[in-house]
Amino acid sequence: MSKTIVFGGWAVSPDVLKNVFGDDAIYIDINRIMPKLFDGDQLKNDWTNIAATEYLLTNENIPSTIAGWSTGAFFAYTAAREYHPERLILFSATPSFCRKDDFHMGTRPSVIDQMIGALRDDKDTVLRSFYKRSGLCYDSSAVPNYTTAELICGLMFLKQACLLPLAPLPIRPIFYHGTEDQIIPISASRYFSEQTNGERTDIDGGHAFFIDREVDIR
């Protein structure tokens, strides 16, 4: 396996991260796997094992670096927790996308429900809005042909997946987050870092802060 695997984010090709991690990394599109993680509308309890099987992660096949952006950070963190790479790098990460009783730095679940309804009516408009808020250029002809079902399952994942409670890993995670992120508040990343004894770098920019500036990976 390549020295680095990179999990991409919701509704965006993981290739968007190539300017950071280069051509030699393996880029994983988490959007395609999303329907396999659900029983109806319920996220399966063993979703982390399903993902590991899909992406051929085993104790004998561990990359030296695991990275993830946004939704992909959930997959990167759980993979690192299980397989202990040398480095874990998380971009625009949160331990819970939605607010919980003991976590108030997330989005209201009703916002996810509204997006799911809007996706069924007009996928293009939803994606165009998300790309704009993320700081990405939207070209409907260039966006991967994700199905509505894949995108809806991705939103349901964000509504249900939760990494709390957190604890330090054998390695110190490295966090990068845009100071103007409109999708995931920077306070969520700071909390994530503090609870896992991580190292954090705040960078001027939005959710996809790495698009228009170099990021020096430690």
DSSP codes, 165-178: SP---SS--EEEEE
What's the rounded mean pLDDT across residues 107-134? 97
Q: What is the CA radius of gyration of the chain?
A: 16
Cα–Cα distances in Å, from 34 out to 15, 17, 31, 203?
A: 18, 20, 6, 30
Rounded Cα–Cα distance for residues 218 and 201 (Å):
10
Residue 87, pLDDT above cutoff 90? yes
Residue 2 has a pLDDT of 66
- CA proximity to 74, closest of 93, 55, 98, 57: 93
Largest CA distance in the chain: 45
Query: Which one is predicted more confidently, 186 or 1?
Result: 186
pLDDT tens figures, 32-43? 999 999 999 999
Chain-wide mean pLDDT for the chain? 95
Instruction: Tabulate helix, strand, coil % of the chain (nearest 5).
Output: 35, 15, 45
Residue 216, pLDDT above cutoff 70? yes
What's the rounded mean pLDDT across residues 129-135? 97
Residue 218, pLDDT above cutoff 80? no
Q: What confidence category does residue 62 fall into, taking pLDDT thresholds of 50, 70 and 90?
A: confident
